[in-house]
Amino acid sequence: MRADPPRLNRRAFLAAPIALAACDRIAAAPSVADPVARPLKSLAPFPFGATGMTWQLDQPDWVEQMLRHCSQLTPEWEQKMERTLGPGFTYDFGPSDRVVAFARDNGLRVHGHTVIWYSQGADVFDDATVPRARFAAEYDRYISTFVGRYRGQMAGWDVVNEPVAEDGDGLRECHWSRALGMDGYMVRAFEQAKQADPDAVLFLNEYNLENIPAKGATFLKLVERLLKLGAPIGGIGTQSHLNIEIPAGQITAFMRDAASLGLPIHVSELDFPMQRDGGHLPDLRSTAERRAQQVARVGELAEAFMALPERQRYAFTTWGLRDSDSWLVRAEGKNRPDESALLLDAEGRPNPAYQAVAEAFQR
Distance CA 194, CA 9 (A): 31
User: What are the phi and psi torsion angles at 63 (to 5°)?
Assistant: -60, -45
> Which candidate in 76, 162, 210, 303 is catalytic?
162
Q: Is 91 exposed, middle or buried (0-12, 13-18, 19+ CB in 10 A)?
A: middle
HEC secondary structure over 137-185: HHHHHHHHHHHHHCCCCEEEEEEEECCECCCCCCECCCHHHHHHCCCHH
Rounded CA separation 8/349 (Å): 27
Distance CA 110, CA 156 (A): 7
Q: Is 238 left (phi over 0), alpha (psi -120 to 50) or beta?
A: beta
**Residue 162 among the catalytic residues:** yes
- Catalytic hit among 245, 269, 300, 303: 269
Rounded alpha-carbon distances, angstroms, from residue 291 to 26, 29, 64, 110, 244: 11, 10, 27, 31, 9
Q: Taking phi first (over 0 means left), then psi (-120 to 50 degrees means alpha), and beta for anything else, what does residue 107 get?
A: left
Q: Which residues are designated catalytic? A: 162, 269
